[in-house]
Amino acid sequence: MFKHTDLQWVRNVKREGGENWAYFDDDREEIILNWSSSYINQPTHAMIPKIGDIVVLFQKVNIDGQIYFTHLLTPVDNIELDCIQTTPKHRWGRKMKLLAKTNQLIKPSNFNLNAVNQGHTYSIQLLDKDVAKDDIQKIIWDAFRPFFREDVYHKYLLEIDNNLIDDDLGDSGSEEGKWLYAMHRIRERDKGLVQRKKASVENPTCECCNFDFASTYPNLGGGFIECHHRIPINQGERITRLEDLALVCANCHRMLHRKNNKNEFYSVEELKQIIA
């Protein structure tokens, strides 16, 4: 089983000088990830990831000049492959299991790639030395959630949907916003039920703090509210009723998706008591 803390390494890849996407040719479950032939001493950087570690790939494509995080891979075995006959410029290879793949995740602006752009195998901590490693791992893990392979999703993932938020938060339009948005799009919801819940109250106010969008934002906030699942979606499939949903403001919604010192989410009633 994999979890966000298994994300240990980051790797820059390129194909044809950035003219094409690297490692996008097919959807095979296993691929060979290659490292430069310039490495003389063995083992090379290909052998740095251990069994159970996850490597995230990023690449710059000349189509739009953007840098994308594109793959999550994990070593299949501890065998270093000599691929000089097939890829002489990238001689050293490692068989990797493909966990996730996408061309939709643009690099967050706070990630610094200057120290990790040489095609070696770098610690994921180097993406942002001012941020805790665990936070970097969570950002990447959550962003890739909608893009895990189906077989990986069912067989290998330990952490799923722990921090889902309402679709009202949407995409802010910024690079960071795209990643935040991607964090919470892993499992489809019954949007019809959410809409019915919102429509069930003529002038909804936050069930935690009583915030009133209509009075605070005249001619703009009427009828606006976010919808929170009282029973976290990550607890599995179930029949959700209207009473299982709570109408809350954006601030309280975010707080409801934070955990207490027991590593548990706050309930609507508990957050209401905290505010009181």
CB–CB of 179/139 below 8 Å? yes
Q: Are residues 90 and 153 in the same domain?
A: yes
| Pairing of the two strands 54-60 and 7-12 | parallel
The answer to whether position 175 is within a domain reads no
From CA 13, how far away is CA 33, in angstroms rounded?
9
The answer to whether position 166 is within a domain reads no
Q: Are residues 134 and 197 in the same domain?
A: no
The answer to whether position 181 is within a domain reads no
Place of tokens 């390494």: 9
Q: Are residues 138 and 256 in the same domain?
A: no
User: pLDDT tens, position by position, for the chain (276 residues)?
Assistant: 888 999 999 999 988 887 889 999 877 899 999 998 887 777 889 999 999 999 999 999 888 888 999 999 999 999 999 999 998 988 999 999 999 999 989 888 788 898 898 888 999 999 988 888 998 998 899 888 878 888 887 777 766 544 433 344 443 344 444 454 443 443 334 557 778 888 888 889 999 999 999 899 887 888 889 988 887 655 544 567 888 899 999 899 989 888 888 878 889 999 999 998
CATH number of the domain that residue 82 is part of: 3.10.590
**What pLDDT, on the 0 to 100 scale, is given for residue 80?**
93
Q: Are residues 107 and 196 in the same domain?
A: no
Q: What is the DSSP string of 70-118?
A: EEEEEES-SPPEE-TTT-TTS-EEEEEEEEEEEEEEEPPTT---TTS-S
The answer to whether position 102 is within a domain reads yes
In the chain, the number of structural domains is: 2
Q: Are residues 148 and 206 in the same domain?
A: no
**What pLDDT, on the 0 to 100 scale, is given for residue 160?**
53
Per the structure, the complete domain to which residue 195 belongs is given by 191-275
Q: Which residues contact 97 (CB under 8 A, 6 or more apart)?
A: 29, 30, 73, 74, 75, 76
CB–CB of 53/6 below 8 Å? yes
Going 137 to 142 to 143 to 145, the CA torsion angle's sign is positive
pTM for this predicted structure:
0.60
H or E element in which residue 135 lies = helix 133-144
Q: Are residues 141 and 231 in the same domain?
A: no
From CA 141, how far away is CA 176, in angstroms rounded?
14
Q: Are residues 89 and 147 in the same domain?
A: yes
Q: Are residues 207 and 88 in the same domain?
A: no
Q: Are residues 262 and 203 in the same domain?
A: yes
Q: Are residues 11 and 75 in the same domain?
A: yes
Q: For residue 141, which of 119, 118, 124 has the smallest C-alpha distance?
A: 124
